[in-house]
């Protein structure tokens, strides 16, 4: 099964001022991402507020992205839900519209506390699109599924024929690398933390990743990989440190989903507010965030 090389972006969902899904910005959004070195999108995930969308909204967004992306640009659809029937329906829809792959994080309710429960959950979802690569999205900070991913790989191996790998959004570089080495690299381990791309490259095997700050800082993050491949460690370090500076700023403003989405407005692509229960940034907070970004010369290096 093909392994992803390069960075896939986790896009925000555009909303109108009234909180309705807004498909109009998606063509310009797709062009911006492709122009800045991204290789695809992982839509309707955490950055896209996927759990706050209806099934119909998620399907409309998937269709809009499929129509907007350039040739060769991968569309992976997050289909995770608290209702497995909904997930299977979303997976089948992704297959019908020609998406490249699907993925799902563990349901936030009820909490999944055993590896076998997680395998069964993924197995049922993947059955909705038996021919599409399926990625498990490991982000335990969102759903408390603090399970061993190495044990998960051992358990899922052979159970889901189209299981492709893991989007690994967790802090344990040891476990990430252990999973990457499982059965001589059988599965695709997509790095999921923009603040630690360089360490995963240095450990010898990371090839691809899915990021959230790539929405507005993709030029820098793809630059880390390019510098590493060129053997320019000093440049790779400088770019990684700058990426961390940007993340430090958004952490002052409720993180990537809230602060990062507002950065898109500052770089010329207004994607609207966040949905309830997210607490949207005020105009005063936006002004302060802009000042902090200017202080690190962000607007000279960001996506454009």
Catalytic positions, written as ranges: 137, 167
Distance of alpha carbon 37 from its chain centroid, rounded? 15
Buried b or exposed e, range 258-267, using 16+ CB within 10 angstroms: bbbbbbbebb
> How far is residue 214's CA from residue 45's CA, in Å, rounded to a whole number?
14
Q: Cβ distance 189 to 164 under 8 Å?
A: no
> How far is residue 292's CA from residue 84's CA, in Å, rounded to a whole number?
42
Distance of alpha carbon 69 from its chain centroid, rounded? 16
Q: Distances from the Cα of 293 to the Cαs of 11, 282, 299, in angstroms? A: 20, 16, 7
DSSP assignment letter at 70:
P
Instruction: Determine how many CB atoms are found less than 10 A away from the CB of residue 121.
Output: 19
How does DSSP assign 199-251, residue by residue? HHHHTT---EEEESTHHHHHHHHHHHHHHHHTT-HHHHHHHHHHHHHHHHHHH
Q: Distances from the Cα of 98 to the Cαs of 1, 42, 65, 67, in angstroms? A: 17, 14, 11, 10
Q: Distances from the Cα of 89 to the Cαs of 23, 43, 85, 219, in angstroms? A: 21, 16, 6, 35
Q: Which residues contact 251 (CB under 8 A, 6 or more apart)?
A: 259
Q: Cβ distance 197 to 6 under 8 Å?
A: no
């Amino acid at each position: 099964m093909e392994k992803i090389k390069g960075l896939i972006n986790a896009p925000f969902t555009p909303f109108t001022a009234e909180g309705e899904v807004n498909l109009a910005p998606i063509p310009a959004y797709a062009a911006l991402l492709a122009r800045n070195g991204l290789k695809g999108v992982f839509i309707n995930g955490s950055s896209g507020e996927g759990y706050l969308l209806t099934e119909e909204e998620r399907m409309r967004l998937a269709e809009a992205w499929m129509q907007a992306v350039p040739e060769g640009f991968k569309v992976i659809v997050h289909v995770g839900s608290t209702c497995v029937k909904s997930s299977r329906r979303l997976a089948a829809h992704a297959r019908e519209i020609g998406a490249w792959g699907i993925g799902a994080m563990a349901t936030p309710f009820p909490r999944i506390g055993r590896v076998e429960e997680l395998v069964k959950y993924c197995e049922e979802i993947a059955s909705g699109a038996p021919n599409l690569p399926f990625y498990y999205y490991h982000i335990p900070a969102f759903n408390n599924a603090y399970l061993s991913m190495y044990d998960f790989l051992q358990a899922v191996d052979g159970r889901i024929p189209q299981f492709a790998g893991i989007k690994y959004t967790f802090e344990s570089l040891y476990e990430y690398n252990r999973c990457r080495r499982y059965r001589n690299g059988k599965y695709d381990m997509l790095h999921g933390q923009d603040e630690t791309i360089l360490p995963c490259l240095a450990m010898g095997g990371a090839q691809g990743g899915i990021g959230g700050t790539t929405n507005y800082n993709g030029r820098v993050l793809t630059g880390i990989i390019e510098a590493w491949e060129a053997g320019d460690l000093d440049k790779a370090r400088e770019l990684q440190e700058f990426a961390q500076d940007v993340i430090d700023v958004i952490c002052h403003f409720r993180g990537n989903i809230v602060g990062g989405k507002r950065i898109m407005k500052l770089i010329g692509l207004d994607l609207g507010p966040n949905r309830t229960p997210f607490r949207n940034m005020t105009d005063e907070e936006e002004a302060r965030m802009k000042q902090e970004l200017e202080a690190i010369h962000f607007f000279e290096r960001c996506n454009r």
